[in-house]
Structure 1
Amino acid sequence: MFEFKFFPFTSKTKKDEPKPPTPPPKRSMVEKAIKRLYEVPGITNISFDLYTDKASVYVKFKDGSGSLRLFINQLKIHHVYIFDSKNTCHFGGYVGWLNSKDLEEAIREIKKDFDEDSTQ
């Protein structure tokens, strides 16, 4: 005859169904490069406007997220900056003479892994 369904017979609704795990957000090369630079021994944060106008682009990130820029002052102190694609500085740092080789190695690795001109 007639069947009245005022309430669903199953207690499970679409809201209660398990959702597939979401993948972690993809980090940009800007974030990855900054993380690597923070691992350099002796890296010291600096004001973003110190020498940024003199720093030259050394690496353009192949994901289009930004660039790494370098400047070496008269005292041979290495300064490194990370800019995003909108030309906003997200990292500025330097190392002294004792750690300049470590910074150079980190920058070489960043260039090898992230540069749009690298051969991979």
Structure 2
Amino acid sequence: MSALLEVRDLVKTYGSGDAATHVLRGLTLALEKGEMAALLGASGSGKSTLLTILGTLMQPTSGSYTMLGQDLLAAGDAQLTQFRNKHIGFVFQFHNLLPDFTALENVLFPTAVREGRETAAART
């Protein structure tokens, strides 16, 4: 049985040469269905970078990443958008809500988009 989520040898480096900042250095992690994990670390240790990569919003410098059996580093933008809409939920540290929507409409908006409904989108 394969893991629900698996990263192998994940590396993320910003910049290059003497100015390179190595944020993730060969991280390997696997989570099975029903498991929970917590990320702990000092500011600047790579927690947000890892979550951004796991959310498919950023590509790592190298390594592999599969979720639900899909190689997410080989997927194109359209595939990633569909995958995020169907399988990944985000709770942002700062408010990223649509100001003209109620709290309920903000929560339901991804479902409406996924199902092709325009009820919520018609208000924008």
Which interval holds the TM-score relative to the shorter structure? under 0.3
Q: Which structure has greater helix proportion?
A: 2
- Larger C-alpha radius of gyration, 1 or 2? 1
Q: TM-score, normalised by structure 1?
A: 0.25
